[in-house]
Amino acid sequence: MEQKQLQQLVEQISLQSFGKKFQHKASFNPRLRTTGGRYLLKSHNIEINKKYYEQLGEKELIGIIKHELCHYHLHLEGRGYQHRDSEFRELLKEVDAPRFCQVLPQADRKPRSQRVIEYTCQSCRQVYRRRRKVDTSRYVCGKCRGKLLFKRELTVN
What is the C-alpha to C-alpha distance for residues 66 and 62, in angstroms, rounded to an integer?
6
* Residue among 2, 47, 68, 77 flagged as catalytic: 68
What is the C-alpha to C-alpha distance for residues 5 and 27, in angstroms, rounded to an integer?
10
Residue 90 annotated to the active site = no
> With helix as H, strand as E and coil as C, how does 57-109 read?
CHHHHHHHHHHHHHHHHHHHCCCCCCCCCHHHHHHHHHCCCCCCCCCCCHHHC
Contacts of 71 (CB under 8 A, 6+ apart): 39, 81, 88
What is the C-alpha to C-alpha distance for residues 108 and 49, in angstroms, rounded to an integer?
14
Where residue 44 falls (left for φ over 0; alpha for ψ -120 to 50; beta otherwise) is: left
The catalytic residue positions are: 68
